[in-house]
Amino acid sequence: MESVIVAIDGPSGTGKSSTSKAVAAELGLSYLDTGAQYRAITWWMLTNGIDVDDPSAIATVCDKPVIESGTDPLAPTISVDGVDASGPIRTREVTSRVSAVSAVPEVRARITELQRTIASAAEKGIVVEGRDIGTTVLPAADVKIFLTASPEARAARRSGELKGKEATDLAATREALIKRDAADSGRKTSPLAKADDAVEVDTTDLTLKQVIECVVALVEEKRASK
């Protein structure tokens, strides 16, 4: 079967990660979480004392950390300089700083190149999730999906994920989410955006199973017509 590239974009809390992993696993494709790469570079900046409010300081050092992503959808990994970063990249500190770091054009250029290399090495194809995959990273992707959901649904899902890890309340989660989306949508270089040829799926009233089925059907349809 020919290889297939699937781009899944959208704001946080739309079910992007769960959907992307499940679709990749079901179709035997690789999986890449591009948000984890931006989180990893942010974590490296913070642990190395780089002022993340200073874009030129970020730009100067952003090609230093070695970021590696494991692309098995059943066990995705992320490491920085050989150290497992999967835990530290999910802290509230990294989450609150990642938009600023990922807005720096030099960071985006470097991570985009990494993403393209990973995608072209995936023999059977890959599901790549992010914010600018369909518009900038892989504009020739075979299938492009843009997931959306109401702010309420997104905040509820995010709170559910955080439960037990970091105590949080729904209103604060909603505010933090809206703030991050505004920063990600408003930046100059490859902002969060729907590609003109992407299929928009509003997940507000859909179960995860329904979203997965919908995306799998779109990919299979594309494969059949290839």
Q: Show binding-site residues for ATP.
A: 10-18
Identity (one letter) of the amino acid at 72?
D
Please state whether beta strands 4-9 and 143-148 pair in parallel, antiparallel, or not at all (unpaired). parallel
User: Is residue 39 a contact residue for ligand DC (CB under 6 A)?
Assistant: yes
Out of 12, 14, 20, 69, point to the residue binding ligand DC (CB under 6 A). 12
Q: Which of residues 60-89 bind ligand DC (CB under 6 A)?
A: none
Rounded-to-integer distance, Cα 179 and Cα 74, Å:
31
- Per CB under 6 A, the segment of 64-72, 130-138, 199-207, 209-217 that binds ligand DC is 130-138
Could you give the angle at the alpha carbon of 163 between the alpha carbons of 158 and 164, nearest 5°? 150
- Looking at the Cβ atoms of 29 and 103, the one nearer to ligand DC is 103
Out of 30, 99, 159, 173, point to the residue binding ligand DC (CB under 6 A). 99
Rounded-to-integer distance, Cα 115 and Cα 69, Å:
9
User: Is residue 131 a contact residue for ligand DC (CB under 6 A)?
Assistant: yes
Q: Which of residues 135-194 bind ligand DC (CB under 6 A)?
A: 180, 184
- The distance of closest approach from Cβ of residue 131 to ligand DC in the complex, given in angstroms and rounded to an integer, is 4
- Looking at the Cβ atoms of 38 and 44, the one nearer to ligand DC is 38
- The distance of closest approach from Cβ of residue 209 to ligand DC in the complex, given in angstroms and rounded to an integer, is 21
Sequence-distant (6+) residues with CB within 8 A of 34 are 111, 115, 128, 129, 130, 131, 133, 137
Neighbours of 19 (CB within 10 A): 25
Out of 35, 76, 125, 134, point to the residue binding ligand DC (CB under 6 A). 35
Binding residue numbers = 10-18
- The distance of closest approach from Cβ of residue 144 to ligand DC in the complex, given in angstroms and rounded to an integer, is 13
- Looking at the Cβ atoms of 111 and 212, the one nearer to ligand DC is 111
Rounded-to-integer distance, Cα 82 and Cα 63, Å:
15
Rounded-to-integer distance, Cα 92 and Cα 77, Å:
19
Q: What is the DSSP string of 26-50?
A: HHT-EEEEHHHHHHHHHHHHHHTT-
CB 190 within 8 A of CB 136: yes
Out of 76, 88, 130, 134, point to the residue binding ligand DC (CB under 6 A). 130
Residues lying near ligand DC in the complex (CB under 6 A): 12, 34-35, 38-39, 98-99, 102, 130-133, 180, 184
